[in-house]
């Protein structure tokens, strides 16, 4: 299996497709489907990587990560609030290929230790940022996926997405030599996805909207059409 970072950068459709049980307001996202059915739909849609939300805010559990990882050959990201090195090893043992590190919740030294531990464990650090200062604090940026969160975790991502943040911070990601620059959260239409890729992001993380869409192939076709209009092919 290729690394999470390499798989995303090499993908024709560089979307991290997310599995989560509940939206930020507590609404059910599975809609009667099994986790296996969601994973199968994502694989058939050509997802290069998957994300699994194990945070209890969104109805997740560590078992959900194990369940998804057992059902796919795609690299899998664990999305949770990782703050300790033992959690890195737990994620690897559960089948993760990458783990979320939220820069805004960690000191610079803690982020350094966790990035080092993640890389030493053979996993990809997926570092979430919201400011220029947080981008500068990311160590070994060329070996990391760094994602701009368009929402506010302090509001449990219940606020609307602010895509100006992605637009403003992308140049800083480039200057920092980030291995893979991602826009994440709030991407609720195929048109927005196409726009973010046109802006220059290497990938996107899309969660709630893909869990809710009834025609995944149609959503992706709209995104592809938007990319063609934008000259990305």
Instruction: Pick the range with the lowest mean pLDDT from 4-8, 28-32, 90-94, 166-170.
Output: 28-32
Residue 233: pLDDT band (50, 70, 90) is low
Q: Span 98-124, mean pLDDT? A: 97
Q: Span 10-17, mean pLDDT? A: 96
Residue 154: pLDDT band (50, 70, 90) is low
Q: What Rg do the C-alpha atoms of the chain give, in angstroms?
A: 16
Q: Is the pLDDT reported for residue 132 higher than 90?
A: yes
Q: Supply angle C-alpha 6, 9, 10, rounded to 5.
A: 85
Range of the domain at 138: 4-229
* pLDDT for residue 24: 79
* pLDDT for residue 97: 98
Task: Look up residue 164 and give its two tokens.
Answer: 């100006």
Residue 47: pLDDT band (50, 70, 90) is very high
Q: Is the pLDDT reported for residue 70 higher than 90?
A: yes
Distance CA 143, CA 48 (A): 18
Dihedral pair phi/psi, residue 143, rounded to 5°: -105, 5
Number of domains in the chain: 1
- Region class of 89: left (phi > 0), else alpha (psi between -120 and 50), else beta: alpha
Q: Span 56-82, mean pLDDT? A: 94
* pLDDT for residue 101: 97
Q: Span 23-32, mean pLDDT? A: 88
* pLDDT for residue 232: 66
**Distance from the Cα of residue 102 to its chain's centroid:** 12
C-beta atoms surrounding 126 within 10 Å: 31
Q: Is the pLDDT reported for residue 78 higher than 90?
A: yes
Distance CA 204, CA 181 (A): 8
Q: Does the global pTM surpass 0.85? A: yes
Q: What is the mean pLDDT of the chain?
A: 93
Distance CA 233, CA 11 (A): 13
Distances (CA, A) of 94 to 45, 66, 72, 98, 99: 24, 5, 13, 11, 11
């Amino acid at each position: 299996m290729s690394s999470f970072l390499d798989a995303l950068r090499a993908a024709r459709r560089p979307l991290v497709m997310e599995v989560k049980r509940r939206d930020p307001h507590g609404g059910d996202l599975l809609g009667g489907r099994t986790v296996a059915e969601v994973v199968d739909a994502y694989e058939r849609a050509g997802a290069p990587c998957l994300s699994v939300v194990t945070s209890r805010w969104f109805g997740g559990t560590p078992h959900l990560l194990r369940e998804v990882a057992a059902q796919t050959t795609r690299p899998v990201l664990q999305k949770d609030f990782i703050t300790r090195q033992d959690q890195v090893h737990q994620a690897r043992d559960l089948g993760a290929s990458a783990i979320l590190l939220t820069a805004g919740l960690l000191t610079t030294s803690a982020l350094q230790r966790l990035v080092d531990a993640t890389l030493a464990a053979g996993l990809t650090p997926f570092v979430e940022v919201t400011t220029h200062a947080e981008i500068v604090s990311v160590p070994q940026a060329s070996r990391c996926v760094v994602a701009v969160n368009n929402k506010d975790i302090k509001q449990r991502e219940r606020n609307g997405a602010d895509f100006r943040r992605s637009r403003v911070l992308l140049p800083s990601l480039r200057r920092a030599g980030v291995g893979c620059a991602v826009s994440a959260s709030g991407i609720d239409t195929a048109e927005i996805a196409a726009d973010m890729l046109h802006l220059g992001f290497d990938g996107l993380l899309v969660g709630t909207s893909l869990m809710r869409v009834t025609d995944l192939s149609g959503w992706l076709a709209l995104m592809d059409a938007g990319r063609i209009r934008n000259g990305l092919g």
